[in-house]
Amino acid sequence: MSPPAGKAPAGREPADDMEYADPGLARERTELAWTRTAVSFAALGAAILKYRPLIGLPVLVLSAVVWRLGRLPVPARAGRTRDRRPLLITMTTVGVSLVALALSFLGPGIGPLR
């Protein structure tokens, strides 16, 4: 049985007292974490946008996608244990890293719109 609100599961210490007092906070904190991640993508997109608008713009759009991913309604998810969103975030980060690596060698000011 799931522990009643305000009580930690048997044999486990409460991860966060406030969460056990108000269990809905866990979800809210997680949504805020998704928002912070989206802001991080936006910051990276904005940094690239200054020198490479054609590459920076898609990264900015990605930040909106990440924000939306964090707010997907539960029924739309394939179940928390088969959650594909972390894989999606990882693949996106790896892709963006490779783009950043290429850009670091091309240098600023060679962008198609400059």
Partner 1 sequence: MTDHPGGDDSPVTSESGDGTEPDARYTFANERTFLAWSRTSLALVVGGLAIAQLLPPFPGIPWGRHLIGTPLILLGCAVSVISYLEWKASQRALRHGQPLPRSRLPQILAIAIAVIGLIAAALALLSAVGVP
Choose, by CB under 8 A, the member of 10, 76, 107, 113 that binds partner 1.
107
Radius of gyration of the chain (CA): 19
**Which long-range CB contacts under 8 A does 21-29 form with residues at least 24 apart?**
none
Report how far residue 21's alpha carbon sits from residue 7's, in angstroms, rounded to the nearest whole number. Answer: 8
* Binding residues for partner 1 restricted to 4-23, rule: CB under 8 A: 4-5, 9, 15-16, 19-20, 23
Query: Quick check: 53 binds partner 1 (CB under 8 A)?
Result: no
Choose, by CB under 8 A, the member of 10, 13, 104, 112 that binds partner 1.
104
Which residue shows structure tokens 């990276």?
Answer: 44
Choose, by CB under 8 A, the member of 17, 29, 64, 65 that binds partner 1.
29
Closest CA to 69 of 26, 22, 25, 33: 33
Report how far residue 71's alpha carbon sits from residue 96's, in angstroms, rounded to the nearest whole number. Answer: 22
Return residues touching partner 1 (CB under 8 A).
1-5, 9, 15-16, 19-20, 23-24, 26-27, 29-30, 33-34, 36-37, 40-41, 43-44, 47-48, 51, 74, 79-81, 83, 86-87, 89-90, 93-94, 96-98, 100-101, 103-105, 107-108
